[in-house]
């Protein structure tokens, strides 16, 4: 009966808490995704039911293991028990804690393995591969919306108000895999910013994805001003530069050269 009452208290607070991923993992997102009662219960299960120890943990940072287990409990919790015949696992988006989202994004970024992500999803440790595709599509669509609002295709990580230089070079790659058929030829553009001690630029913020329920896995096209580049050509074969109405060299440079000639 004590276990039943403890579970009822923890579950009541658990289902009253909502956490929705907005496109970025903030500093305290893991602590915000779990309730204090659940975290205290997991800590007591792992470290022992010591009231003095739990009081100290409440004033300091909690253990990583307890925080990990608490997030998995929130992620896999359901309001009603599933039927025995049901084989599919459904998770509420309002209880997608940062840990299962981060694991899927991390594994996909390193291995690109759908089988590994689905295996961990079946074990209740991360979101499914289909949900991962929805997240990446939502983030990409948020970036495209920012492009349209700012009327320029600029990476979100770049800061505002800084001197920026660009470098353009060709990309020629011959794949060595057995399934590759054609080489890759493209263009790489690198943008570099130059902050100083007095001017560090303005942070443009992270790309916030929409909170509406969306199942789209496709990415919206880039703005037309980026994809449709008008051709540029000279009207005549002979180019005539305009006449310069002042010295081609700065006056201080002319004075320095005159001084060297006198010496």
* Tens-place pLDDT, residues 98-111: 999 999 999 999 98
User: What mean pLDDT comes out for the span 52-81?
Assistant: 75
User: What mean pLDDT comes out for the span 139-143?
Assistant: 84
**Residue bearing the bigger pLDDT, 204 or 214:** 204
Cross-strand pairs, 191: 166
How far is Cα 24 from Cα 209, in angstroms, rounded to an integer? 9
The band of 84, judged by pLDDT with boundaries at 50, 70 and 90, is low
* Tens-place pLDDT, residues 157-179: 889 888 999 998 988 877 776 67
Residue 46 scores a pLDDT above 90: no
Q: What mean pLDDT value characterizes the chain?
A: 80
Name which of 77-86, 160-169, 212-221 the model is least confident about.
212-221
């Amino acid at each position: 009966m004590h276990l039943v009452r403890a579970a009822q208290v923890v579950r009541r607070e658990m289902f009253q808490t909502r956490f929705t991923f907005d496109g970025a993992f903030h500093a305290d997102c893991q602590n915000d995704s779990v309730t204090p009662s659940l975290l205290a219960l997991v800590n007591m299960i792992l470290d022992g039911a010591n009231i003095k120890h739990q009081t100290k943990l409440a004033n300091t940072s909690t253990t990583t293991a307890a925080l990990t287990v608490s997030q998995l409990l929130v992620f896999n919790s359901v309001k009603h028990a599933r039927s025995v015949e049901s084989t599919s696992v459904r998770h509420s988006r309002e209880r997608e804690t940062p840990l299962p989202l981060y694991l899927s994004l991390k594994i996909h970024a390193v291995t690109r393995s759908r089988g590994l992500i689905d295996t961990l999803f079946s074990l209740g440790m991360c979101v499914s591969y289909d949900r991962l595709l929805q997240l990446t599509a939502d983030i990409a669509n948020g970036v495209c919306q920012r492009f349209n609002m700012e009327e320029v295709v600029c990476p979100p990580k770049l800061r505002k108000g800084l001197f920026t230089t660009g470098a353009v070079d060709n990309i020629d790659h011959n794949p060595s895999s057995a399934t590759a058929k054609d080489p890759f030829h493209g263009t790489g553009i690198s943008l570099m910013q130059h902050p100083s001690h007095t001017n560090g630029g303005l942070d443009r913020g992270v790309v916030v994805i929409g909170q509406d329920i969306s199942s789209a896995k496709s990415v919206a096209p880039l703005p037309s001003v980026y994809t449709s580049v008008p051709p540029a050509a000279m009207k005549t074969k002979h180019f005539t530069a305009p006449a310069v109405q002042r010295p081609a060299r700065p006056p201080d440079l002319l004075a320095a050269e005159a001084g060297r000639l006198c010496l």
